Structure 1
C-alpha cells in the first residue's frame, strides 16, 4: 500500500470539489486491505472508502484516513450451461468492464454502459440504468472486514440489494469482529469490497423497456438489436443528455427516482398529465426525478458555482475550475433548495444518490 499525507482529493472526485485528506491510502490488492488493521497509524483512525469518486459530495476536508481502492484484475472464473461468471477487481473502471465483456462475446451489461465509477462501488449503490440493475447480473463478491482483516464472501441475497441500495449503505446492527455474524448486517464503513463476480446470461435477450431505447430501435427498424447496438445507443443517449465529468464536474444523477402508489400517481397526473412515470413489478409507480425538477423550473439555475445542468435537470454540475471550483456547501445548498421546491409542488421528497461527506 502507498500512504500519503495531506493529499488533495480534487483529482479523485468527479465533481472536482476542492478538499484534502488527512491521510490517503492507495490499496492495490486484497492483501493491502487485510493489512490495514495491523498498521498502528491506520488501525484506530476514522476510515472513508473512496472508489472512483463519482458518487460523492465532499463538504470539507476529510479527517482520518481515505482508502482509495485501486485493485485491478479481470478474468473468466467459471462457465455453466446458463452463464459466464466473470471476476473483476474492485478498482477497475465499470464502463471499461462493460466494453470488455462485450468484446469477449459475453452480453448482459450493455444497458449499464457509461455509468461512471469503479466496479467495487457498483454493488454498494446497486447501480442501474435503462431497465437493468447490477443485481440482475450479480453473482457474488469478496470483501474484507476492516476491524479484523478477515475476508468474507456475500451472495446477492446477503447484499440486501434494493433501489440504489445495499447492505454496504447501512450502519452496523452489532459490533464488528464477529466473524460469520457480519454476513447480511449493515456494512457501511466496516468493509472494503475487493472482487466482484458477475453472472452474464447465455440466453441473452435485449432489454428495451425504456422509452429512449424503444424509440431508437423503432427509428432504425431494429426488431432484434444486438448487445453491441444497445451499448452504442446507450452511450449516444447518455452523451447527448449527460455532461462528461472530465469536461464538466458532476456526480451523475443527483437524486433517486421516487416511487409512489398508483393513487398518488393518479393524483399527480390529474394536475400534471405529462409527468414521466414507469410501472414497477410490485404495483408501485416510479417517477422521473429529472422531470419533477424540470417542472419546477430548475434547469440552468445556480448557487455559487453549483448549477443544474441545462440539458438534464437530474444532474448538478460544477461551473467553477481549479481554485475557483464549486464547494460541497454550494452543491448541497442547491440540492436542498430543489428538494424543497419539489416537495412544495408535488408532495414528494427527493433523496440524493451521492454519499455526502
Structure 2
C-alpha cells in the first residue's frame, strides 16, 4: 500500500485544533483482535469535537463510522469511512430526586467501570450488567442486557449530536425505541417515498452521554438460575448489590473468555423468539431444548443450546472458532501476528446459521455489527 505508515506510526493533520490520524491500526480497538486499519480517525472527547468535524467541509462530507470499545463489531477489511473513536470521559451524579439517583456517564467510559463506580458511590441497580464489555455510549445502541436486566430498565435519557447539523439533542427511553438488543440507533432513517417507516438514527447521530436512573427502593434481581444457585450456596436471603455484582462477575468469567486473552465479541447470536406452537413442535423433537417464556406469550430459545446441539462447540473454520465452554461465543484462534480475519468469522457464522436452520427451522441473527 503506497505511502502507508508502519504499525504504530500515525501521520495526521490538525483541523479545527483537532488531530486527524491517518492509517491507524484498529487491531487493539476491537475485542476480536481482527487486524484492520482506519484510513482516517478522530478521537472524540466532547460534543465540541463532533461539531469541529462537521465544521470541516471535507470531513463533514465523509461517511462516518462510530467506534466505542469495539466489543460488538466484526471488521471484514480496512475502514474507509472517517472513524469517530468515542473517548468522552466523565462519571457524575447528574441529579438526585426523592426516589432515585440519576447518574451521567461519558460515552467513552468503560461500561463495567461505570457499573463498579455506581456501586462504590452507593447507587445500586446496575449490578446484573457487570462485566459486559464495551463502552457506555454503545450500551443504548444495543440495549445491552444480562441476568434478567436490560439497559432500558435503568435508562433515563441520553445526549447525542446530529451528524448533519452538529446540534446536540436529548432522547428519553420511549424515543430510543428499545427492543431486544435493539434501538433507534440500529435502524436507518426512513426512505423518502411517502411511507412512514419509523424514526431511524443509524448513521445520523452519535451518542456522547448516557444517563441512568437508579431507584432508591432497590430490590435484587435473582431470576436467573445461575444467580439463584449462588444465593443458595451462600445462604444469603437478601444479598447486597455488591454481592450480586461479584456473583455475576464470577459466573461470566467461568463461562465467557476474557477478550484480553482470547479475542471475541461476546454473544455472537441473538436468542431467537418463537410462538408457543413453534416451541412445542421443537420440544416434541428435542425435549431438552432450553427455553424461557416471555411476558408477551412468546418463547425465547437459548441460541447457545441450539448451536451446541448442532455439534459446533469447539469447532473451527480457519482461525475462527466456537468457544469450547459456550457455543454462543465465536473466538479468535489466531495470534496477534496472524489474526483471524473478519471473513473467517463470518464464514463460520454462516455455517452455524445453516446448521441451526436445517435442524430446527430457526434463523439465528448475529448481534455484532459487520463492517
- TM class, shorter-chain normalised? over 0.9
- Per-residue CA deviations over 1:152-172 (Å, capped at 9, x if unaligned) read 100000000000000000001
- Per-residue CA deviations over 1:329-351 (Å, capped at 9, x if unaligned) read 00000000000000111111000
Distance in 2, matches of 1:243 and 1:124, equals 23
Distance in 2, matches of 1:207 and 1:17, equals 36
Q: CA deviation at 1:323?
A: 2.6
Q: CA deviation at 1:174?
A: 5.8
Correspondence for 1:342: 356
Please show how residues 18-97 of structure 1 align to structure 2 within 5 Å: 18-97=35-114
Distance in 2, matches of 1:33 and 1:203, equals 38
Distance in 2, matches of 1:351 and 1:190, equals 24
Q: CA deviation at 1:217?
A: 1.0
Please point out which of 162, 175, 179 is paired with 1:145: 162
Please show how residues 238-277 of structure 1 align to structure 2 within 5 Å: 238-277=252-291
Distance in 2, matches of 1:84 and 1:77, equals 8
Correspondence for 1:178: none
Please point out which of 158, 168, 172 is paired with 2:185: 168
2:345 alignment partner, SS class: helix
Please show how residues 280-299 of structure 1 align to structure 2 within 5 Å: 280-299=294-313
Q: CA RMSD in A?
A: 1.0
Q: CA deviation at 1:64?
A: 2.3
Correspondence for 1:191: 205
Indicate yes or no: 2:224 matched with 1:210: yes
| Residue pair 1:299, 1:308 contacting (<8 A) in 2 also | yes
| Residue pair 1:170, 1:186 contacting (<8 A) in 2 also | yes
Aligned residue-pair number: 349
Correspondence for 2:195: none
1:120 alignment partner, SS class: helix
Distance in 1, matches of 2:36 and 2:112, equals 26
Distance in 2, matches of 1:127 and 1:304, equals 30
Indicate yes or no: 2:116 matched with 1:99: yes
| Residue pair 1:120, 1:194 contacting (<8 A) in 2 also | yes
- Per-residue CA deviations over 1:113-134 (Å, capped at 9, x if unaligned) read 0000000000000000000000
Distance in 2, matches of 1:55 and 1:197, equals 21
Runs ≥4 in structure 1, deviation > 4 angstroms? none
Correspondence for 2:335: 321
Distance in 2, matches of 1:158 and 1:117, equals 23
Indicate yes or no: 2:133 matched with 1:116: yes
| Residue pair 1:89, 1:119 contacting (<8 A) in 2 also | yes
| Residue pair 1:5, 1:21 contacting (<8 A) in 2 also | yes
Distance in 2, matches of 1:54 and 1:64, equals 19
Distance in 2, matches of 1:82 and 1:235, equals 28
2:221 alignment partner, SS class: coil
Unpaired stretches in structure 2, ≥5 consecutive residues? 1-17, 193-197
Distance in 1, matches of 2:174 and 2:28, equals 35
Correspondence for 1:227: 241
| Residue pair 1:2, 1:27 contacting (<8 A) in 2 also | no
Distance in 2, matches of 1:324 and 1:161, equals 38
Correspondence for 2:3: none
Distance in 2, matches of 1:335 and 1:2, equals 37
Higher alpha-carbon deviation: 2-11 or 102-111:
2-11
Distance in 1, matches of 2:33 and 2:286, equals 36
2:136 alignment partner, SS class: coil
